[in-house]
Amino acid sequence: MPGSQAPRWRFLITPKWLAWHLIMVASVAGMLALGDWQLHRALAGNGLSWAYTFEWPIFAVFGVVFWAKTIRDEFRPPVSATPGDEAVALPAGAVPAPAGARPDGEGAEVDAELAAYNAYLARLHGEVKGHGRWHGLR
Partner 1 sequence: MRINVILYRVMAYVTGVILIVLCALAIGQVWTSDGAAVNAVGTVHGLLYIVYLIVSYPLTRRLRLAVPATIAVLLAGTVPVMTFVVEYRIRHRYIEPALAQQDAGPREAPRPVA
**Residue ranges in contact with partner 1 by CB under 8 A:** 20, 47-48, 51-52, 55, 58-59, 62, 66, 69-70, 73, 94-96, 99, 109, 113, 116-117, 120-121, 124-125, 128, 131-133, 135-138
Nearest distance in Å: CB 30, partner 1: 13
Report CA dihedral (108, 114, 115, 120) to the nearest 10 degrees.
Answer: 150
End-to-end C-alpha distance for the chain, whole angstroms: 25
Nearest distance in Å: CB 89, partner 1: 18
Toward partner 1, which CB reaches closer, 33 or 121? 121
**Each residue of 74-96: b (16+ CB within 10 Å) or e?**
beebeebeeebeebeeeeeeeee
Cβ atoms of residues 76 and 90 within 8 Å? no
Toward partner 1, which CB reaches closer, 1 or 10? 10
Nearest distance in Å: CB 33, partner 1: 17
